[in-house]
Chains A and B, each alone.
Chain A
């Protein structure tokens, strides 16, 4: 199999509810084998609807999707997919272990895989307790354990850190990174930017049901740059344009943004001082995924 083989491909995937509500619109998504792909968007952006369509739980209004080589919902395809969509749903009167046995029976997986899955998410000692007594974090971890039962080629995880305490979030990120090694593919949906930044190889940003940006975290952050605050600003701009070219210098909120490697900061400082320009601030311009997200989604605040 080619390392760039696409495990998930959607073409113009659309889901409408009635005439007015478009949950997902013309979505073209490509997730490659072996990568951890982050699906980023505000609440209500269409992430969960997309994931449900990929699993065959809801039917698209139009467009196509191929998941693990099959159409969504095909039993042969589902056999290769582990998923946790939205909140984890299990039988409250059964223990965690018994719930996994029920799921394993549906999936045709031997029950011997239940305890290792519980151990993976550190629930082995609570496996005998009823699911109804679990905390939200434990329920979330049981959901991940259920997703792992099939030793899937593709893991689809929707907000897996929901309800986890800070320690649990760190452990979950570490688990997702571990699960994403080798040929396993992980599609991770979240509205938590830090989660995406730390875990994902590539990120797609969805807004109002449309994929508005896609790339690696570095690609999304854009070219490296340096921020300069100097007086007089206009003289500084002319000096740096002469040094690096006009295209490399832009004025942003009373500072200059210089598109260059931060390692050239000393050269920039020397040039400005030599031109009798006072430099009050000179630092690498770090553009976080949050900046990109806010710019792309046009929202006032990140969720």
Chain B
């Protein structure tokens, strides 16, 4: 598996689309996580209020003390997870598009080993992306607090680590979701389309529409869906300023489940996506 992991990392780190997606993610962190908000609050009139908070109070949500909260809530709203769905779908789907799966599967390692190496490499890439996002968010928050001439107060190390872990778990689950879709449909285009539609629209829409019926079983069911649990895990760090202003994911802003359950459900989804991919790749012919 180490050989396949090294081969996958070698491919992914030289792939332009991986760098482009990473760059977009980091730009979004700076732009929509900090820059736009800071400009809006800095240029706001004295009478400006949002959610009962003044511009100065809202700006405090951009300071270093809150950067974990900002990032754990998606940092860039739902766009971060959306981009990693694309990453997962592209990493797998392109192998079908280029026909390179037959080249790989004709080499020494077995199919499951190849898949394990592929997912391990994606896990590392997602980890590096999350680290970079947190580092950039921390730097952005430090710049803002410095511009305001105030002292930087940082979150506790354990909270930063928890935030990193939570963000990585959310991103990893969505990446594996994109990869599974690509294995199922043997292409990246449909996997990206369906993955984004589900993530951004379908889950929120279904529960939004059915929510009007006040069905208790529906509320129970909702607690086991990936989008709801990803949002709940982020919200467990506290609601970020952006989410309070309506920029968050299209799901409830009140966490449906606790952080513990969210971690377990997301981990279960990740494992299920891996198992599903293994099943598909083991059984299917490579034509």
Contacts and interface: CB of A to CB of B under 8 A. Distances in A.
B140 to A, nearest CB: 31
Given A58-B286, A58-B287, A102-B7, A73 B102 contact: no
Interface stretch (A89-97, A195-203, A265-273, A289-297): A89-97
Q: Taking each of A79, A91, A92, which has the highest tally of chain B beta carbons within 10 Å of its own beta carbon?
A: A91
A93 B15 contact: yes
Given A78-B107, A93-B15, A94-B14, A108 B3 contact: yes
A78 B114 CA distance: 14
A75 B109 contact: yes
A87 interface: yes
Contacts of A146: 103
A106 B285 contact: no
Interface string A95-125: 0001001110111100000000000000000
B110 interface: yes
Contacts of A108: 3, 108
B16 A107 contact: no
A83 interface: yes
A103 B103 contact: yes
Interface string B257-287: 0000000000000000000000000000111
A79 B106 CA distance: 9
A81 B105 CA distance: 12
A159 to B, nearest CB: 14
A57 B106 contact: yes
B1 to A, nearest CB: 11
Given A101-B10, A102-B7, A102-B11, A89 B99 contact: yes
Interface string B7-25: 1001100111000000000
Contacts of B188: none
Given A91-B11, A106-B4, A106-B114, A85 B106 contact: yes
A56 interface: yes
B6 A105 contact: yes
A56 B105 contact: yes
A59 interface: yes
Contact of A107 (B15, B98, B102, B108): B108
Contact of B107 (A59, A87, A106): A106
Given A85-B102, A91-B98, A107 B285 contact: no
A75 B16 CA distance: 31
A63 B10 CA distance: 39
Contacts of B287: 52, 57-58
A101 B14 CA distance: 13
B105 A98 contact: no
A283 B107 CA distance: 51
Contacts of A94: 11, 14
B100 A106 contact: no
| Chain B: number of interface residues, binned into ranges | 20 to 34
Contacts of B103: 88-90, 103, 146
A89 B114 CA distance: 17
Contacts of A98: 10, 14
Nearest to B104: A106
A65 interface: no
Nearest to A143: B103
A56 B103 CA distance: 12
B285 A59 contact: yes
Contact of A92 (B98, B106, B110): B98
A93 B110 contact: no
A148 interface: no
B102 A75 contact: no
Given A83-B106, A101-B10, A91 B4 contact: no
Interface string A130-157: 0000000000000000100010000000
A55 interface: yes
A158 B7 CA distance: 25
A58 B111 CA distance: 12
User: For A52, A105, A106, which residue has the most chain B Cβ atoms within 10 angstroms?
Assistant: A106
The 9 closest A-B pairs by CB, nearest first: A89-B99, A58-B285, A105-B7, A106-B107, A57-B286, A107-B107, A79-B108, A106-B7, A89-B100
29 contacts: A52-B287, A55-B102, A55-B105, A58-B286, A58-B287, A59-B285, A75-B113, A78-B106, A78-B107, A78-B108, A79-B108, A81-B106, A85-B102, A85-B106, A86-B102, A87-B99, A90-B98, A91-B11, A91-B15, A91-B98, A94-B14, A98-B14, A101-B10, A103-B107, A105-B10, A106-B7, A106-B107, A106-B108, A106-B114
Interface of A: 52, 55-59, 73, 75, 78-79, 81, 83, 85-94, 98, 101-103, 105-108, 146, 150
Given A52-B286, A93-B15, 10 more contacts: A52-B102, A73-B105, A78-B107, A85-B106, A86-B102, A89-B98, A91-B11, A91-B98, A106-B3, A107-B107
